[in-house]
Amino acid sequence: MSGVTDSIPIEMPQLSAGQDEDASAGATLASWLVAVGDLVEQGEVVAELETDKATVELESPVAGRVLELIVAEGTEGVVPGTVLGLLASDEASENASAGSGDGAASASASVSADMDSGASEEPAPPANTPPEYSGSVGENADAPRSTPLARRAAVANEVDLAELAGTGAGGRVVEADVLRAAGQSEGASAVAASEEQRASAPLDSIASAAPVVASIDESVALEEGVRSVRLSTMRKTIARRMTESKQQVPHFYLRMRVRMDEVVSVRARLNERLAAEGRDIRISVNDFVVRALALGLRDVPSANVQYAGDAMHAFERVDVSVAVATDGGLVTPVIRDADRKGLTTLAEEVKFLAGLARDGKLKPEQYQGGTATISNLGMYGIESVYPILNPPQACILGVGAAEEQAVVVDGELQVGRVASLTLAADHRAVDGAVGAQLLASVRARLIDPLGMML
């Protein structure tokens, strides 16, 4: 194999006499004026440096090609002698492009040569050299660990490794991860195809019985005091959906404080009456909130929507999902047509569905298709709840505890019951003003609960 290609460092120069005495006061790398792959002349300005006194231009020590920019723009306190970047001298960069480079530096050089080969004057590699994709796409500091084959596939398919989660040993990105991201099927190779067949053919029956595995103790001691517990299907679903929501749905939050005195007093009277009539149902504060949200969505139909890619789905029905904590995790049974149901009906339905949820007996139609969700942690004394959206819904209302607080009414201090309501909304479908209208409507209903009993 041919010789090693040397890379030439671009170093932070000594900028002021006093700098060494106080290393922490080193210079700032203000900006790079070149990019990886650029050809530079000797003496060409490649970067701007800032000291506490002045801006200084940094010149390239040699003519060549920029291999790597090591120190990021804006990095402060860079001390003299720090290697800021690497150059391949003209000669070296030509060697690298011949495909016999050695080590990371020259491999990157050849990539850069590859990338702009249309414009450059690099000689075409001889026919027998390996396909030289290798390189820097996979080797930036942010990228996860990846295999050499995955890095080549990333370049060939224009996939950014930094955005991939690796499925290989220790989270390493393997070729299959890249091909999946690129939308290519692994079936490209017969081996992979037959492997898939092997995996899937006898499996239909097994897949449905997945929890099987945990039929023994579901947890395993990892070390003293730490146990590893296998995720249930439910937990996995929650994890996946919440991650998707938090990462992909641009939420915004609106918070409002609402006087709940009337709700509390009306609720007490209603429950007295129900008890007097011998009925086995009690209305909760949450039932009032469900009804208030349902009526609010009817008042503000532009909030009763879902974002659907090229379209917006606007709902005529108002189906409110209610978050219920169960041993297995969070589930959200749906109260259908909640805007057309009275408080007792709502109370009975919520109680019934929550019971099914806790017993794990909800049917899909009982937890799918809500148009908005309520997440109430008031019973735990939580002041404000900032919920994650329940996709594909556009709105979720977080409800805090209705507690006695000091409130100012007409310039006078009083004691009142106040709850904090927080609306999280998908900004792709719901703008701030619409969210605010919805929240205001909900508040109006809760301030005057008799109004929502009509």
Stretch that binds another protein, among 131-139, 320-328, 402-410, 429-437 (CB under 8 A): 131-139
- Is residue 203 involved in binding another protein (CB under 8 A)? yes
The strand pair at 7-11 and 311-314 is best described as: unpaired
Q: Which residues of 395-423 are buried (b: 16+ CB within 10 A; e: fewer)?
A: bbbbbbbbeeeeeeeeeeeeebbbbbbbb
Task: Tell me the number of residues near another protein by CB under 8 A.
Answer: 49
- Is residue 414 involved in binding another protein (CB under 8 A)? no
Question: Which amino acid is present at 271?
Answer: N
**Residue showing tokens 């701030």:** 432
Report the C-alpha gap between 278 and 373 in whole angstroms.
Answer: 32
Report the C-alpha gap between 124 and 131 in whole angstroms.
Answer: 12
- Is residue 224 involved in binding another protein (CB under 8 A)? no
Counting DSSP H helices and E strands in the chain, the numbers are: 12, 20
For another protein, the closer of residues 102 and 299 by Cβ is 102
Stretch that binds another protein, among 52-60, 80-88, 184-192, 326-334 (CB under 8 A): 184-192
Stretch that binds another protein, among 9-17, 150-158, 277-285, 401-409 (CB under 8 A): 150-158
The only residue of 22, 72, 198, 414 in contact with another protein, by rule CB under 8 A: 198
Neighbours of 236 (CB within 10 A): 13
Stretch that binds another protein, among 197-205, 249-257, 320-328, 399-407 (CB under 8 A): 197-205
For another protein, the closer of residues 44 and 218 by Cβ is 218
Rounded to 5 degrees, φ, ψ at 443 are -65, -45
- Is residue 3 involved in binding another protein (CB under 8 A)? no
- Is residue 14 involved in binding another protein (CB under 8 A)? no
- Is residue 239 involved in binding another protein (CB under 8 A)? no
For another protein, the closer of residues 240 and 313 by Cβ is 240
- Which tokens belong to 8? 């030439």
- Is residue 7 involved in binding another protein (CB under 8 A)? no
- Is residue 443 involved in binding another protein (CB under 8 A)? no
- Cβ distance 178 to 161 under 8 Å? yes
What burial class does residue 87 get, using C-beta atoms within 10 Å of its C-beta: 0-12 exposed, 13-18 middle, 19+ buried?
buried
- Is residue 219 involved in binding another protein (CB under 8 A)? yes
- Is residue 215 involved in binding another protein (CB under 8 A)? yes
Neighbours of 319 (CB within 10 A): 21
Bridge partners of residue 409, in order along the sequence: 412
Site for another protein in 338-397 (CB under 8 A): none
The only residue of 199, 226, 413, 454 in contact with another protein, by rule CB under 8 A: 199
Stretch that binds another protein, among 62-70, 128-136, 257-265, 343-351 (CB under 8 A): 128-136
- Is residue 212 involved in binding another protein (CB under 8 A)? yes
- Is residue 165 involved in binding another protein (CB under 8 A)? no
For another protein, the closer of residues 100 and 420 by Cβ is 100
Least distance between another protein and beta carbon 190 (Å)? 3
The only residue of 220, 268, 275, 415 in contact with another protein, by rule CB under 8 A: 220
- Is residue 171 involved in binding another protein (CB under 8 A)? yes
| 427 classed as catalytic | yes
For another protein, the closer of residues 63 and 156 by Cβ is 156
The only residue of 74, 77, 81, 148 in contact with another protein, by rule CB under 8 A: 148
The strand pair at 372-376 and 395-399 is best described as: parallel
Report the C-alpha gap between 265 and 275 in whole angstroms.
Answer: 15
For another protein, the closer of residues 140 and 184 by Cβ is 184
User: Can you say how many angstroms the Cα of residue 171 is from the centroid of all Cα atoms in its chain?
Assistant: 18
Report the C-alpha gap between 167 and 175 in whole angstroms.
Answer: 10
Report the C-alpha gap between 302 and 286 in whole angstroms.
Answer: 24
3-state helix, strand, coil in the chain (%, to 5): 40, 25, 35
Q: Which residues have a Cβ under 8 Å from the Cβ of 168 and sit 6 or more positions away?
A: 147, 174, 177
- Is residue 17 involved in binding another protein (CB under 8 A)? no
- Cβ distance 38 to 10 under 8 Å? no
- Is residue 182 involved in binding another protein (CB under 8 A)? no
Least distance between another protein and beta carbon 239 (Å)? 13
Least distance between another protein and beta carbon 158 (Å)? 15
Q: Please identify which of the residues 427, 428, 436, 437 carries the catalytic annotation.
A: 427
- Cβ distance 367 to 333 under 8 Å? yes
Bridge partners of residue 257, in order along the sequence: 420
Q: Which residues have a Cβ under 8 Å from the Cβ of 316 and sit 6 or more positions away?
A: none
- Is residue 265 involved in binding another protein (CB under 8 A)? no
Bridge partners of residue 290, in order along the sequence: none
Active site residues per annotation? 427
Question: Where along the sequence are the contacts to another protein (CB under 8 A)?
Answer: 1, 102-103, 107, 128-132, 134, 147-150, 152-153, 156, 167-171, 174-175, 188-191, 195, 198-199, 202-203, 205-206, 209, 212-221, 228-230
